Amino acid sequence: FLLLNKLLPSSISVSSTSISSIGEISILALFPDAAALDLVINNLTENSTNGGKIKKVSIDSISRSKDGAYRVSMKIDPA
């Protein structure tokens, strides 16, 4: 959670977070715009920012509201 806290900017609103028995992290979050979503995906997938602690990031669902915000459900597999 400390790594995620570091990689997620304050503009992101996390609705829920859970960890499976195998360590997979599920997050449901609201991103204010596409730039914020792009920044987070890059932070999570780049070894230089995630310290080699994340193996894979997958987006389960994504939707965009009329105001341009994105609601994203994603899974993060630890390395």
The separation between the first and the last C-alpha atoms of the chain, rounded to the nearest angstrom, is 14
Looking at residue 6, its pLDDT comes to 85
Distance CA 21, CA 8 (A): 23
Looking at residue 64, its pLDDT comes to 96
Angle value at C-alpha 71, between 68 and 74, nearest 5 degrees: 140
pTM (2 d.p.): 0.82
pLDDT tens-digit profile, the chain (79 residues):
778 888 888 899 999 999 999 889 999 999 999 999 999 999 999 999 988 899 999 999 999 999 999 999 999 998 8
- Strands ordered across the beta sheet of 13-19: 13-19, 25-31, 70-78, 54-64
Distance CA 77, CA 24 (A): 5
Other Cβ atoms within 10 Å of 7 Cβ, number: 20
